[in-house]
Amino acid sequence: MTRPLRKIILIRHAEKPIPEQGVLGVDEFGNADRRSLSVRGWQRAGALVRFFAPLHGAFAHGAIERPDALFAASPRSKSQRPVQTLRDVADHLKLDIRQEFDSDGDEARLIDAARSTATVALVSWRQDSMAAFARQLVDGDVTVPDWDKRRFDVAWVFTRERRAWHFAQVPQLLLPGDRPEGIEASSPTGETVDG
């Protein structure tokens, strides 16, 4: 019997190309690909392994746990980036990445799948629908901010306690330039966790 879902960790896919600034996307072989991560994005994807599976078991923050299920927005449309962001984590943890969910409207199906298969789920999603995903998950229990399109360096952690969801933001602090604060909340009910 599967234990009930008690935590969803939501991250934005890692850094993407910015052609107007000369930042290109590359696939895992180094070939130019506008649908893939940038070089910095690949660096973040690699660093996420130790964020979710620390060498000596000490997580960077108490809200982070080792996931037992991985989900990424479907690569069928837009980009490969959500799946690429989790690939190294999946390989290290020996988990499959479920990627049959589209980031434009499949949030409820993904949440149902996580409830039926995971205790701690890690979701890599697209910025333009992250707040919608989070709001559908918490169903009014907490207020979440809109995702800042400039940020790739935060984990949103939703923990279920009794019948309510609790929300925390955990800065990843994995790469130079990562910011130590969460994304500014539009309401004081979102808890920002430093460090």
Helix axes 107-117, 130-138, angle to 10 degrees: 60
Token readout for 141 is 């229990």
* 68-90 burial: b if 16+ Cβ within 10 Å, else e: bbbbbbbeeeebbbbbbbbbbbb
Task: Name beta bridge partners: 125.
Answer: 12
39 pLDDT more than 80: yes
Write out pLDDT tens, residues 96-142: 999 999 888 888 899 999 988 889 999 999 888 888 889 888 887 78
Residue 100 lies inside a defined structural domain of this protein: yes
Token readout for 29 is 């072989």
The overall average pLDDT reported for the chain is 89
Residue 135 lies inside a defined structural domain of this protein: yes
Domain holding 127, by residue range, is 7-192
Residue 1 lies inside a defined structural domain of this protein: no
**What's the pLDDT at 188?**
37
Over residues 36-65, the mean pLDDT reads: 95
165 pLDDT more than 60: yes
**Distant-in-sequence, close-in-space partners of 128: CB < 8 Å, separation ≥ 6:** 103, 147, 149
Residue 34 lies inside a defined structural domain of this protein: yes
Task: Name beta bridge partners: 164.
Answer: 161
Percentage of the chain beyond pLDDT 90 is: 68
- The domain that holds 179 is classified in CATH as 3.40.50.1240
**What's the pLDDT at 187?**
34
**Distant-in-sequence, close-in-space partners of 92: CB < 8 Å, separation ≥ 6:** 49, 53
Q: What is the pTM of this model?
A: 0.90
Q: How many domains does the chain have?
A: 1
185 pLDDT more than 80: no
For residue 180, which of 150, 154, 146 has the smallest C-alpha distance? 154
